[in-house]
A and B are shown apart, each in its own frame.
Chain A
Amino acid sequence: MAFIPHTDEDIQAMLAAIGAPSIEALFDEIPAELRAGPLERVPERLSEMEVQRLMRERAEQDRQPLCFIGAGAYEHHIPAAVWELTTRGEFYSAYTPYQAEASQGTLQLLYEYQSMMASLTGMDVSNASMYDGASALAEAVLMAVRIHKSARRVLMPATVHPIWRRVVESIVKHQRIELVELPYCTEGGHTIPESLERFAGEDFAALVIPQPNFFGVLEDVDALTDWAHAHKMLAIGVVNPTSLALLRPPGEWGETGADIVVGEGQPLGIPLSSGGPYFGFMACKQAYVRQMPGRIIGATTDLDGKRGYALTLQAREQHIRRSKATSNICTNQGLMVTAATIYMALTGPEGLARVAAASHANTRRLAEQLDGLAGAEIAFARPYFHEVVVRLPRAANAVLKDMEAQGILGGFDLTPYYPELGDALLVCATETKSDADLAEYVQAFAKSLKAFDLSRFA
């Protein structure tokens, strides 16, 4: 059969067969006001040449400002080899490889990826990736509820990315799962383990533990993990993979380690490209592997004794298990994982540790210069990774606008999400920032605050 759309004759023949006078007649049932008309805001088509010209003009508008926004998406140096190799024809598939046994190269790569992620997180097993970090956290919540059986409530600190929390809420609320928000210490920007005591004795499936948290602050993960386990809850770690090159892996938190670990894989070789695509990672203890969504690749030997790779755990995926799948959105981000695996293989543990250390050092240098500058101050006196909260004497969005005019994306405005902090920015400096970049930031920042100072007395 040729894959050619039906011709006018085909359409006429089909209509005649069912006795309908026209295609329009097939939609008679639908009230006219519900029908969508022509798409008014979609422009006319363009030729290839016109598209090229348009894209060039748009690219020129993008002045490549210096970016100090983190808040879940981080600019890191990506070695040229990463995408040179990732976009080779042998790997270049945007979506989940479903006929995976046929592509041994892809399976081997996923196997390597899983091994690296398990090692990085200190967990027994990793799946082959998920849609993004936020939905991976939602899946971890669902997984914890499946494992726990009796509780449908989960403790969710306010220090978890606010947008991730909304994503999780959207996904789990329809399954009658309740997220109970944990407040944070407004001096330290962290969750106080003692504040959990009021939930002791109540039935919760899990405690979510971000490390570093959304404010960049390090949480007391050992105390939180042990508290969760002492109260028959699972501990779900939410981590930045770069930070794991320096920080103790979740598998070693507290007495027995976190049970499930998720996070956003974007820092591992995925560029900031206008918001996507990203990928989520998920790892867990061996005991919970059957409740983990997604797939696991195993290594084996074939009849001739040669090494081969096979999907060893996928029976609970939706294409096999349908309505009883562990998850129906455990979409595997194959291409992003390919890039991340090559990135990790190229940088190695020492390289990743250097990236993490340089990011921390740059953020520290910046924070020290901003603290006390023109009425600004670093909000939390706690250890941090590569992001800090800066309190401002002026509206955060106005400061950001001023800095943007000076070619700098100054940070993430926290005001709409954490009004109790007052005017505050979340600022991130990674290893990509030079001393000159930091100096430029400080100058633009000071200028924006001083301009405000002067205007007050004008």
Chain B
Amino acid sequence: MSNVPTDRRYTDSHEWVQPQGDGVFRVGITDHAQELLGDLVFVETPEIGRHVNAKQDCAVVESVKAASDVYAPIAGEIVGANEELSGTPETINQDAHGAGWIFEIKADNPADYDGLMDAAAYEALVASEG
């Protein structure tokens, strides 16, 4: 079973969302998602300043055999992107929930965060997907 920290929430498309204060949230893909994708070879981070809606695709992670969209978990403005990943996409494989974060979003409505899954619900989802 992959590691599912309890200090953050999750989406059913396998992103994690962690509050940074001031309505800013850090987003990445879960450890479970990186395991499924395999060795990552490229990450395309979103443009800073862009406004995105919830569930809108805004980043791409590519492994040798697949390219997957990463969706904005909540609506807001992109305020940060992890540029380190362009040279070392494997950071996501090594530390998906920490150094492998992908972007930061300033929420239009910070309360949207509360509507996301908690760790237990996400673990149940992963278990049900078998």
Contact = CB atoms under 8 A, between A and B. Distances in A.
Interface of A: 290, 310-316, 320-321, 324
Contacts of B66: 315, 320
A324 B67 contact: yes
Candidate in B41, B44, B64 with the most chain A CB atoms within 10 angstroms = B64
Contacts of B44: 290
Contact of B67 (A310, A311, A312, A321): A321
A23 B32 CA distance: 49
Contacts of A320: 65-67
B65 A290 contact: no
A290 B66 CA distance: 13
17 contacts: A290-B42, A290-B44, A310-B64, A311-B64, A312-B41, A313-B41, A314-B65, A315-B41, A315-B42, A315-B64, A315-B65, A315-B66, A315-B67, A316-B62, A316-B67, A320-B65, A320-B67
A290 B64 CA distance: 13
A312 B64 contact: yes
Tell me if B's interface is mostly helix, strand, loop or mixed. strand
B63 interface: yes
A80 to B, nearest CB: 39
Nearest to B69: A324
Nearest to A312: B64
Nearest to B47: A149
Interface in B21-78: 41-42, 44, 62-67, 69
A148 to B, nearest CB: 14
A99 to B, nearest CB: 12
A237 to B, nearest CB: 26
Nearest to A316: B67
A351 B107 CA distance: 64
Nearest to A289: B42
A53 to B, nearest CB: 51
A315 B41 CA distance: 10
B94 to A, nearest CB: 20
A290 B43 CA distance: 10
Contact of B62 (A310, A311, A315): A315
Candidate in A290, A314, A315 with the most chain B CB atoms within 10 angstroms = A315
